[in-house]
Structure 1
Amino acid sequence: MVPKPTLSTSIQPPPGPSAKLVLPSRDTSPNTNPTVFNDAMIIRKAVFIDEQHCTADAEIDSDDARSWHWVLYDDSAATPTPVGVIRLVPPPQAPHARLTEPPAAAGAQGAPEYDWTHEPCIKLTRVAIMPSFRGFGLGRRLVETALGWAAGHAAEIDEAAAQIAARGESPVTLTQWRGLVLVHAQVDVEGMYAGLGFATDHSLGRWNEEGIEHVGMFRRLVLDE
C-alpha cells in the first residue's frame, strides 16, 4: 500500500452514440477516447481484465456511450495518475433475465433490450480501484461522489432515459426517475454497499458474471429540490 494519496476527481459525461470507444493499447492503434474515459478504461482494463481475468471483448459495452464516469487521480506525482473509477448507467436497465437465464433464452428473438416494466433506476457499475490504492476507502468515496451528483441531476438522468425511449423502444409511458439506485455487487463487497445504505434484494438471487458471484442491491436517494 502506498502512503495516503492526495486525490482529485474528474467526471466524464456520456460520450454519446457516435463515439468510437476502445480499450487503451500500448501499440499504435488509433484511440479517440475522451481523455477521462480513457483513464477510466486504463483502470477497468487493469482490474477487470488483467487482474480478474474478465473477457476483454465484453469490457466496453452498449452502456458506456450513455453513461457517466468518475475517475479518481493520485496527484502526488507531477502527472496525475488514474487510480479509481465508477460508472453510472441511467435508466433503462437491461432485463434481469439477461443475467440469470441461459443466453439462448435471455437473448431470444423478440426479447426486449431494456426493462420498461419496473420503476426506473440508475445503476452503479464498474467500480474499480488500482491494487496499491486499496484500503483507503476509495470505493466508498466514489460511490458517495456518484450518488451525490445523481441526487442533484435528476433532470439530466431523465433526459438520458428519454433519448433511449425516443428510439421507439419504450412500449410504456416513460416515468421520471425517483431516486432508486441499483448495484450489482460482487459478493465480497456486499458489506461495503450495505454500509452505504444499500439493501440486498434476495428476489434477484445470485448469479455469476465472468465467473464472479454477484447480488443485486437497492437504495433510494432523496433528490435535491
Structure 2
Amino acid sequence: MATQGSHVQVEVQPPPGSIVAPNGFPADPRPKDAPQVFLDAMDIRIKVFCDEQKCAIEPELDEDDPKSWSWVAYQQSPETKQKVPVSTLRIVPPPHPPHPNGFHDASEEPYVKVTRVATMSHARGQGLNKFLMNHALDYLASQPGLISSDWRGLVLTHAQVSVEGLYVKLGFTTDDRLGRWDEEGIEHLGMWKKLSLPDTTG
C-alpha cells in the first residue's frame, strides 16, 4: 500500500515471511526474492547502520525481519524523476524476549517494538523520521488486529541515546527500569508510548 504526502510517498511492507531468509540465519541482507519495499528498507539500513555507523552487516537482517512490518518513505529524484527510498523503520509484533538488561515484568501487556529507524544522510533535517513514525503508528492503531488480538496500543522503542530527545517529542517516555545497554558500540535505552485505539466494543 502506498500513500502520498506533499513530496513524500510512503509504502508499507507486511511481514514477508521466510522468503527473506530461506536458508536461516545469518542471511543475505539483500535477499534476491524479497519484495522491493523490503529491499529498499534494507538498502537504507545497510547504508546508515553498516556503512555510516560501522555496525556489522552480518546480523543486520535478523530473526525479527520475517515477522515484521517495514515502512519506507520515498522522494522523487530531481535528476531521474524516479522515486528514491530515503527513510525507513521496522515494527516487530509480540511476543518479545526479555529486555536487553534482563528485566522482565510478568504483568507487562503485549507491545510492538519500533526498530531500525534510519534516514539517508542527504534527506535528514526534513522531519522524515517523525513523519514516517506517525504514519506507521496511525496505520497500526487504526487496525490493531493486524498485530494481534490482545494488543492494546503499547509501543516500545530501543532508541540510541543520542536521539532520545526526538522520541520524547514523538510522545515516548524513557523507562529507567530498562537501563542502558550497548548495541554494536552504540548506547541505547528503552522508551514507551501508548496509542489510542478505536473502540470496537460497540
The bucket for the TM-score relative to the shorter chain is 0.7 to 0.9
- Per-residue deviation, 1:117: 5.8
**Alignment partner, residue 130 of structure 1:** 120
What code does the residue aligned with 2:28 have? Answer: V
Q: Give the SS at the match of 1:177.
A: coil
Flag the structure with higher helix content: 1
Aligned to 2:7: 6
Aligned residue for 1:118, secondary structure, equals coil
Compute the displacement of 1:95 (Å): 1.0
Distance apart, 1:68 and its partner CA: 0.5
State yes or no: 1:90 paired with 2:93. Answer: yes
For 2:138 and 2:40, locate their aligned partners in 1 and report how far apart those are by CA, in whole Å: 22
Q: Please tell me the residue identity of whatever aligns with 1:41.
A: M
The residue correspondences of 1:102-141 to structure 2 (distance < 5 A) are 118-141=108-131
CA deviations on 1:73-96 (whole Å, 9 max, x unpaired) are 112442111100010101111211
Provide closer, same or farther for how the CA distance between residues 56 and 19 of structure 1 changes in structure 2, counting only shifts above 3 A. closer
How many residue pairs align between the two structures?
187
- Counterparts of 1:43-62 in structure 2, within 5 Å, are 43-62=44-63
Given that 2:29 and 2:58 are in contact with CA atoms closer than 8 Å, whether structure 1 keeps it comes out as no
Other structure's SS at 2:17 match: coil
Contact 2:181 2:188 survives alignment (8 Å) = yes
Correspondence for 2:73: 72
What's the secondary structure of 1:158's corresponding residue? coil
- Report which of the two structures shows the higher radius of gyration computed on alpha carbons: 1
Q: CA deviation at 1:22?
A: 3.0
Aligned mates of 2:40, 2:154 — CA distance in 1: 28
User: CA offsets, 1:11-45, max 9 Å, x none?
Assistant: 10100135436323xxxxx7111110000000000
1:23 has 2:26 as partner: no
CA deviations 1:148-189 (Å, max 9, x no partner) are 011012111006xxxxxxxxxxxxxxxx11111000010111
- Asked whether the equivalents of residues 89 and 123 of structure 1 are also in contact (C-alpha less than 8 Å), the reply is yes
How many Å separate the matches in 2 of 1:116 and 1:69?
28
Q: Secondary structure at the match of 2:134?
A: helix
Query: For structure 2, which runs of at least 5 residues remain unmatched after alignment?
Result: 1-5, 22-26
The answer (yes or no) to whether the contact 1:200–1:217 under 8 Å persists in 2 is yes
Match of 2:148 in 1: 158
Query: TM-score scaled to structure 2, two decimals?
Result: 0.86
CA distance in 1, matches of 2:37, 2:89: 12
Letter in 2 for 1:14: P
Distance 1:117 1:58 in 2: 31
Structure 1 residue ranges without an equivalent (≥5): 25-29, 102-113, 160-175
SS class of match (2:166): helix
Contact in 1 for aligned 2:89/2:114 (Cα 8 Å): yes
* TM-score scaled by length of structure 1: 0.78
Distance across 2 between alignment mates of 1:46 and 1:116: 38
- Normalized per residue, the structure richer in strand is 2
Q: Does 1:212 align with 2:193?
A: no
CA deviation after TM superposition for structure 1 residue 115, in Å: 8.7
